Amino acid sequence: MIRTVTSVVLCSVLIASFAGCGNTSSSGGTQTTASTDASVSTDSVSTDTEKKEPITLTFSTFNNWGTAQNAVSIGISLYEKGTGNKVEQQLYPDDQFMNVIKTKLATGDVPDFIATYASRKGNVPLDLLEPLDGEEWITQIRPGLDSFCTRESDGKWVVAPVGALSYLGAIYNKDVFKKAGVSLPLKNYEDLLAACEAIQKIGVAPIQPANKDNAAFIWDLIGDHYLYEKNPDIAKNIAANKLNPSESPEINAAYQRIVDLKKYFKSDYASATGMDGLKQVANGEVAMFANGSWCYGILSKDYADKMPSLGIMPISLGDDYQAVTRTGPQNGFAIPKKSKHINEAKEFIKYVMTPVVAGAVAEVAPGTYPLNVDTRKSSWDSEMEGYVEQGLPTKNQTMDEYFGSFDVGPGFQDSVQTMLLGKPIKSALNEEWYKKMADLNKSKRTPGW
């Protein structure tokens, strides 16, 4: 779950959204985990439709999504109890599901609705999904999520997002910061350097990048918004194959700032895993470990007594720009165009996209959900939303925010790993990022590649 975040922020967020995050309250204490019954009155969820004879809808999903307590399973449970209809689940192995669904969509042998990633990248063919435009729930979705749930060809909504959103940032130890005299927020790269100096003086390693798990690239995802905000053409030209990242002075300078942080890394950074990073920040051995808010659920299991001392915050590698970085909702519902029960499947989605269902899901897995309503959150979600209330813009992770549906591949994260191990920045950007990106997009027949 902590191993990577872009090829795997997708996996990690969805796993975390229906796993360990469920036992925590917004105050950081523990509460009894709710069941899918959730003591929620299904009478208060209405689709405003006439009472009809019960039907059975077919639904295809991952083994993981179909068997876990998550937004998918809870939504289905409440729907069945509230309507009398049934949902017949077709479960497929996690590593085979997308290929199975792509085949079904191509042949027309489709279920009534499917679970899919809320993402334009590496997904099922979005043009084979039924548009969902015109539904009232779309007007209640949080700003910015349309980039995950619509298709570029016509701008139509094709995915109903139901999974929790997550925040990327620096998980930090409050006690270490207090002892070092570091005040928050850290508004820019200069503030970050000053904090690292102060922390190092008290004998604590400021940063654990966990490079064995290739986790150091998350500093790029949470810190480089300033780069693309200042010059949006950088991402556009990379996607159009008009710019090799290694030839961009701005990108080279941005990665140089990450490399310059090496003197503040914990000495075992090259062999450390993500779990090592979590353990070390919980125990105060390091001050910061960059990852996602889903780690709250992981840490609260083994380090419950440490949770009051842990927080998450935004970081900027720029001089004058900072943003709160958010990941997409990941899991969602979609309807194949060739579904035999399109209208009934839309009624199902209308049913689950309600504040009552979102609230029931949050009782099991506290967090921020796509519908713009208050739900039970962890203290980390509340902390990041506090920065938003102070005026910081909310941005999706950089590869989603600025590159749209273009697939940059895993090479950019590999480039960070190799440059931290001593490879020249320009060579790492060219050999790890550009060449791997070119191979990927040639095979996908991306225009311009």
Report the residue count for the chain. Answer: 449
- Tokens at 247, concatenated: 């030839």
Task: Please indicate, yes or no, whether the overall pTM of this predicted structure exceeds 0.95.
Answer: no
Strands (E), 208-342: 286-292, 310-313, 324-327, 330-334
Average pLDDT for 87-101: 89
**CA-to-CA distance for 338 and 373, rounded, in angstroms?**
33
Model confidence at 405, in pLDDT bands (50, 70, 90)? confident
**CA-to-CA distance for 412 and 217, rounded, in angstroms?**
8
Q: What percent of the chain has pLDDT over 70?
A: 88
Q: Does residue 32 register a pLDDT over 70?
A: no
Q: Does residue 428 register a pLDDT over 80?
A: yes
Residue pointed to by tokens 């996209």: 353
Q: Does residue 5 register a pLDDT over 80?
A: no
Per residue in 226-274, pLDDT (tens digit) is 999 999 999 999 999 999 999 999 999 999 999 999 999 999 999 999 9
- CA atoms in the 13 A half-sphere facing the CB of 185: 22
Average pLDDT for 35-40: 39
Helix (H/G/I), strand (E/B), else coil: 336: strand
- CA atoms in the 13 A half-sphere facing the CB of 429: 19
The whole-number pLDDT of residue 40 equals: 45
* H and E: helices and strands count for the chain: 20, 11
The whole-number pLDDT of residue 143 equals: 87
CB atoms closer than 10 angstroms to residue 295: 27
Q: Does residue 22 register a pLDDT over 50?
A: no
Mean pLDDT across the chain, nearest whole number? 86
The whole-number pLDDT of residue 8 equals: 39
The whole-number pLDDT of residue 50 equals: 53
Per residue in 185-223, pLDDT (tens digit) is 999 999 999 999 999 999 999 999 999 988 899 999 999
Residue pointed to by tokens 């548009």: 131
Least confident of 9-18, 126-135, 155-164, 290-299: 9-18
Per residue in 110-120, pLDDT (tens digit) is 999 998 888 87
The whole-number pLDDT of residue 366 equals: 85
Report residue 29 CA to chain centroid gap: 24
Residue pointed to by tokens 């942080």: 261
Q: Is there a cis peptide before residue 314, judged by omega within 30 degrees of 0? A: no
Phi, psi angles (nearest 5°) of residue 434: -65, -50
Model confidence at 289, in pLDDT bands (50, 70, 90)? very high
Q: Does residue 301 register a pLDDT over 80?
A: yes
Cβ neighbors of 256 (< 8 A, separation 6 or more) are 425
Average pLDDT for 290-315: 94
Q: Which of 52-56, 66-70, 325-329, 425-429 has maximum average pLDDT?
A: 425-429
Cβ neighbors of 411 (< 8 A, separation 6 or more) are 432, 433, 434, 435, 436, 437, 440
The whole-number pLDDT of residue 329 equals: 80
Q: Does residue 321 register a pLDDT over 80?
A: yes
DSSP track, 148-194: HHB-TTT--B--EE-SPBEEEEEEEEHHHHHHHT--S---SHHHHHH
Instruction: Supply the Cα-derived Rg of the chain in whole angstroms.
Output: 22
**CA-to-CA distance for 186 and 335, rounded, in angstroms?**
44
First to last CA, the chain: 32
Q: Does residue 320 register a pLDDT over 90?
A: yes
Report residue 307 CA to chain centroid gap: 22
Note the helical H segments in 316-406: 342-352, 355-364, 379-389, 398-403
- Tokens at 91, concatenated: 């479960």
Please indicate whether residue 190 or residue 94 has the higher confidence score (pLDDT): 190
Q: Does residue 46 register a pLDDT over 80?
A: no
Q: Which of 144-148, 264-268, 399-403 has maximum average pLDDT?
A: 264-268
CB atoms closer than 10 angstroms to residue 376: 20
Q: Does residue 52 register a pLDDT over 80?
A: no
Average pLDDT for 417-444: 96
Please indicate whether residue 45 or residue 386 has the higher confidence score (pLDDT): 386
Q: Does residue 24 register a pLDDT over 70?
A: no
- Tokens at 6, concatenated: 């872009």
Average pLDDT for 136-149: 91
Please indicate whether residue 356 or residue 35 has the higher confidence score (pLDDT): 356
**CA-to-CA distance for 287 and 170, rounded, in angstroms?**
9
For residues 257 and 348, the answer to whether their CB atoms sit within 8 Å is no
Model confidence at 39, in pLDDT bands (50, 70, 90)? very low
For residues 223 and 399, the answer to whether their CB atoms sit within 8 Å is no
Model confidence at 374, in pLDDT bands (50, 70, 90)? confident
Average pLDDT for 7-28: 35
Average pLDDT for 63-87: 84
Q: Does residue 357 register a pLDDT over 60?
A: yes
- Tokens at 308, concatenated: 């009051």
- CA atoms in the 13 A half-sphere facing the CB of 147: 17
Note the helical H segments in 144-188: 146-149, 174-180
